[in-house]
Amino acid sequence: SQTLLSSLVWWENNVPRVHIVLCYYFQVVGEYGMAHFSDTVKSKGKDYCIFFNSQWARLPQDLNKASRLQIYDLTSSVLCSPSDVPEGGFPNRIPMVMRGNCTFYEKVRLAQINGAKGLLIVSKDRLTPPAGNKTQYEEIDIPVALLSYSDMLDISKTFGKGRLVAMYAPNEPVLDYNMVIIFLMAVGTVAIGGYWAGSRDSKKRYMKHKRDDGAEKQDEETVDVTPIMICVFVFMCCNMLVLLYFFYDYLVLWVIAIFCVASSVGLYSCLWPFIRRIPFCKCRIPENNLPYLHKRPQVRMLLLSALCISVSIVWMVFRNEDQWAWVLQDTLGIAFCLYMLKTVRLPTFKACTLLLSVLFVYDVFFVFITPFFTKSGESIMVEVAAGPSDSSTHEKLPMVLKVPRLNSSPLALCDRPFSLLGFGDILVPGLLVVYCHRFDILTQSSRIYFVACTIAYGIGLLITFVALAVMQMGQPALLYLVPCTLLTSLVIALLRRELPQFWTGSGFVVNTSSGSQPFQPVTPKMKVPEIGDPHCKQSCGDRAIYKGDKGERFLGPIHKVSKMMVQCSMNL
């Protein structure tokens, strides 16, 4: 009780402070702008990215309306005391000083009282908004902005000492046309992956394919996800994300290598069904004792494998070529997502709800909550996905679909020139779409779940784009995709009165002898055969069948059907 009382006393005394800190945090909002340097008034010059806080002073939106002023190079000083001010001050000039040793307010105040019309602060660290408080903002009426150290070196090399600068903040388009490309790629991947995985699972359930070799057999294997696997997966995701945040330069190359291997497998998995249909070039390699080749695979399989590996290697070598490497990355990424949707299978809607809900919390936490704990005020998710600006390797994680911005804007120098969508925003809702299609096939429901869930995914993605435009910051897409897809699937199941079966993925009797009779729920009077029942025996099919007066009927849980290979002879 004493501990509780002391905690209440502490809270009462510190709530105002906490409130002030939070308000201060939200007041510090940085904006990107441009510093146009030139050696004469009429020369073309060059733009450099700056980061400013409009609460000190606003910048004009047009370069033609910005004043071109002389730069006073004081980068040998930090401008923290009057002794740092040169004789005569900075009349109608913009001093350029180094960051550190004192607050932004002290620097800009010294500059203003000595006649400066602005202040450029050179930073060797990442650019952060120059912060102050309300009183300080009211006292200062000149703009203050941060410039990167590398840009300062380039300015000195390009323009020498006689430099003019004009600072301005052009408007950036709210949305870019590349969003259309990302939307089509994401929705197309989810729709194709969901349809392909569901149809493939249906064929596997109702017939036994002849396999030419072991590679095809391996291509058809699937993995049923359990709740324990979901918990372990999310735990590993959290750990990996935090490790990438703190040790990005050490781990990013490993992630790139893993992506190359996984995307090669995914590309092979997507192309092989088409190559397999070619009626010629089926010759096999000679007999041998080599590992992985002793089964004499077809030559075309080896050629396809070499092609897929070559594509990954080409991307890995030229991955930083912004002009065209993103096309290869998106191609490999889509192939990887299709492969995962075809391989990983959620057995019940309950499992779908668990996975999507946990990753929903995970996504929101690492985007909206983690900025309160990081020194830079940036979210861990956005920082890792786009790559830290202070990274020594300047590598980017490849686990995203990326499309360059199509709208021309000077701020492309500052802001990231690509729009990104993580693979998780495709795979996680996509697994639910796959489940819906499998359920449609089992219940013969004209794919209503599949179509509705796919449309819901597209709507959720559009809402994500709107939120991105309104908030002008990285968005956790699962925040919008999970409610749209889960609630849509749930409403469809409620309207069709199939929620118990949809939730557990079991309890259906489907007529397989004629398509005229609709599916029927299993009644308690119907005896469900168990695997190992003496009345049942294995057969070449993979259906649990009752032979009765009304014909053959399939009976069994959706996630166990592919494992049940029994033929029973008994009356309903």
- Which pTM value belongs to this model? 0.71
Neighbours of 151 (CB within 10 A): 18
Amino acid at 444: Q
**Which residue out of 363, 390, 415, 549 is catalytically annotated?**
363
Q: Is 363 a catalytic residue?
A: yes
Answer for the pair 489, 429: CB distance below 8 angstroms, yes or no. Answer: no
Confidence band (pLDDT; 50, 70, 90) for 207?
low
Confidence at residue 30, expressed as pLDDT on a 0 to 100 scale = 62
d(CA 570, CA 537): 12
Under CATH, which number does the domain 30-168 receive? 3.50.30.30
Q: Mutual orientation of helices 248-276 and 227-246 as an angle, nearest 10°? A: 130
CATH 3.50.30.30 segments of the chain: 30-168
pLDDT at 460 over 90: yes
**Which residue out of 425, 440, 542, 549 is catalytically annotated?**
425
Q: Please, which residues have CB within 8 angstroms of residue 246's CB and are 6 or more apart in sequence?
A: none
**What 3 state SS string does 376-444 have?**
CCCCHHHHHHHCCCCCCCCCCCCCEEEEECCCCCHHHHCCCCEEEEECHHHHHHHHHHHHHHHHHHHHC
pLDDT at 262 over 50: yes
The region of weakest confidence among 65-69, 122-126, 221-225, 238-242 is 221-225
- Between 49 and 281, the more confident residue is 49
Q: For 384-399, what is each residue's pLDDT tens digit? A: 887 776 677 888 889 9
Q: Is 249 a catalytic residue?
A: no
d(CA 233, CA 358): 10
Confidence at residue 327, expressed as pLDDT on a 0 to 100 scale = 94
Confidence band (pLDDT; 50, 70, 90) for 6?
very low
d(CA 436, CA 349): 9
Q: How far does CA 333 lie from the centroid of its chain?
A: 12
Confidence at residue 494, expressed as pLDDT on a 0 to 100 scale = 95
Confidence at residue 559, expressed as pLDDT on a 0 to 100 scale = 40
Residue count (the chain):
572
Task: Starting at the earlier edge strand, list the strands of the sheet with 508-511.
Answer: 520-521, 508-511, 551-555, 545-548, 566-568, 536-538
Q: For 142-197, what is each residue's pLDDT tens digit? A: 888 898 888 888 888 888 777 888 898 887 776 788 899 999 999 999 999 999 98
